[in-house]
Amino acid sequence: MRKLLAIIVILVTFSASQARADEGMWLLPLIEKLNIGTMTEMGLKLTAEDLYSINQASVKDAIVIFGGGCTAEIVSPHGLLLTNHHCGYGQIQNHSTVEHDYLNNGFWAMSKEEELPNPGLSVTFLVRIEDVTSRVLGKVNPDMTEAARREAIQAESAAITSEATKGTHYNARVSSFYSGNQYFLLIYEVFSDVRLVGTPPNSIGKYGHDSDNWMWPRHTCDFSVFRVYMGPDGKPAQYSKDNVPLKPKHYLPVSIKNLQKNDFAMVMGYPGTTTRYMTSYEVDEAMKITNANRVKIRGARQEIWMKDMMADPKVNIQYASKYAGSSNYWKFSIGQNAGLTRLRTAEKKAAFEAEYMKWVNADPARKAKYGNALSLIENAVKGRAEKYNVSQYMREALSTELLGFAGQMTMLEEALVKKDAERINGMTGRLKRSVENFYGDYNYPTDQKTTKAMLKLYRTDIDPKYWPSFYKLIDTKFKGNIDAFVDNIFAKSIFVSQEKLAAFLEAPSLKVLQKDPAFIVAKSINEMNSTLMKDLQGFSADLSKGQRLYMAGVMEYQPDKTQYPDANSTMRLTYGKVLDYYPYDAVHYNWYTTLDGVVQKYKKGDYEFDLPQRLIDLNNKREYGRYGSPDGYMPVCFITNNDITGGNSGSPVINGNGELIGLAFDGNWEAMTGNIAFEPDLQRCINVDIRYVLWVIDIYSGAGYLLNEMDIRQ
């Protein structure tokens, strides 16, 4: 094991000098050894200690996990925070009503007293990272089963996190890297009082909607503003009027200096998941099952939602965030499949695997160690294909809103059967707290139509042996009529009515619950899903083992190639430069867009490309203030060759002086393969220029007082 770890360090250290600067999501504690020389040559003026330090304030102390799936950055000594508009979209939507439509009209708190609290929203600061590989893997041996290995790793990880957080208010977790060949302990501090300060209207913050999503050129001012609060003692605290604005260890200065092509740019944030070491078998599965199903099922659901959203302003508000969340990776899957086909990614990986196996088989020791890695992956992927397809259909098609909510009642049913008063009280209390959030964003006629469509789609596409038991009820009691079956659910279920469900939770009855038509359906879905998960466990164990061995073998096989770890929602740094690109023959995309381009896309009355008249007027008058380019245009967005993925949304784009120059918010259509295979000539990170953000806050919205908190450099 020590030999393997030494190989990892040696290979990554050597390969860093050979890597293209635009590829790789790097761990901050390793920047000093691996990257700082190249970064300095490219234009970085900071030291590695300035970027990541556990002894003094550093750039990492200004970067946070926003909620559960985005990144944000602190930009003032008073806890002011910037992230993407689409990252704050759920909170903006929660505060919106037909009377106070912040989604379509925008919102600005003109004082701290007007800032809006967001129950359930938190931001998470990284305190430190520590390599614990030797301790974690010291508890395993090659003779263990995968289940025993997993249990040993989980037990030791739990012990490590317990020791690390004892006597503190910190959180911690041990994360796996290089497919289980390396482990790091990450210590976090979580603040749960985060208030909405401001947001532009959809027509600015979501300009282009689905049509422009994942596309360049882009003209979206994708930002929102929040503030983090702490208790009077300086520690994290739940929302209270007594809380005070956070005093951060570090905040980012903001640059409004002119950008130029080839300027140095780095991105720090929390990329979610990449699978760069995916095999050809897994690529095939992603294309034929994961992406294909997502496109088909979500496309059908979104068509229903959009029709209702366009017909009713209230439904539009209720479903805005849900629709955006669904459509984002629906379109991503379309683009990724197109890209994987165009670039012949599976074929290229298969060719690499053939050469890799020649190397493995050339040495008896290597063959004994790595020889079955690819066959484990192949057999697992092919063996699970049918059930894996069904499991995705269940997640995507059968988890409709009402049925999904009713499915949460299975644990309450267990408590009622056992007459466990303590558990009953705990479960009903938790469910009561979730009721208001659910029904506030729920329109049962929309869900009723969606449920009918999804149940029909599942029955049409899935083998009857995988039909949950409620399909028998459809055939026996409703003569196969899914519409009538669903109508019966929505006519009789307590879950359709907030009032009926609230009354039930005050005095929960086992008889009422077990006879509820929505619960009957949800329970049968859960039962089928549980059976599928058990069947898939064996394949998962072989897949995990194969991936771990394959990763270790690849690192030994390619000592001259970059072997950075896949993204796994831990803080990473990527560096590159402001850069244009040529997506197709004879086609050139410039590296920036302008406010003139925003107005050129304008379509009056079109929900995707409508614009406020005030923005058009300000552009016509060239009222750009100090935020316009010296070259006479108002900058809007720009692109870099930084390596990002989902989770990086809201990440700061930082120049060589450590100053904020933009917010990352998207990738480009031609490189939708990026999570699986990085394409250096095509892959670009799309960012909103911080000058456009400040212009919208100050000139357009009249909230320029917020800029007085910032350290603006020009």
**Which residues are tagged catalytic?**
86, 222, 649
Q: Quick one: 275 exposed, middle or buried, by C-beta within 10 A (0-12, 13-18, 19+)? A: middle
Contacts of 27 (CB under 8 A, 6+ apart): 129, 177, 184, 565, 570, 572
Which residue type does 329 have? Y
Q: What angle do CA 653, 330, 219 make, to 5 degrees?
A: 40
The CA-to-CA distance between both ends of the chain, in Å, stands at 52
Element (H, E) at 202: helix 202-205
- Can you read off the two tokens belonging to residue 594? 């302008």
Cis ω on the peptide bond leading into residue 217 (within 30° of 0)? Answer: yes
CA distance linking residue 466 with residue 534, whole number of Å: 14
Q: At what angle do helices 517-557 and 410-418 cross, to 10 degrees?
A: 120
Nearest-angstrom CA–CA distance, 481 and 468: 16
Is 296 in contact with 392 (CB distance < 8 Å)? no
**Bridge partner residues of 187 (DSSP):** 128, 172
Q: What is the Cα–Cα distance from 511 to 531, expressed in whole angstroms?
A: 25
Q: What is the Rg, in whole angstroms, of the alpha carbon atoms belonging to the chain?
A: 26
DSSP codes of every residue in 170-199? -EEEEEEEGGGTEEEEEEEEEE-EEEEEEE
Q: What distance in Å separates the CA atoms of residue 75 and residue 660, rounded to the nearest whole number?
A: 9
Q: How many Cα atoms occupy the beta-carbon half-sphere of 164 within 13 Å?
A: 23
**SS3 of 344, please?**
coil
3-state secondary structure 33-97: HHCHHHHHHHCCCCCHHHHCCCCCCCHHHHEEEECCCEEEEECCCCCEEEECCCCCHHHHHHHCC
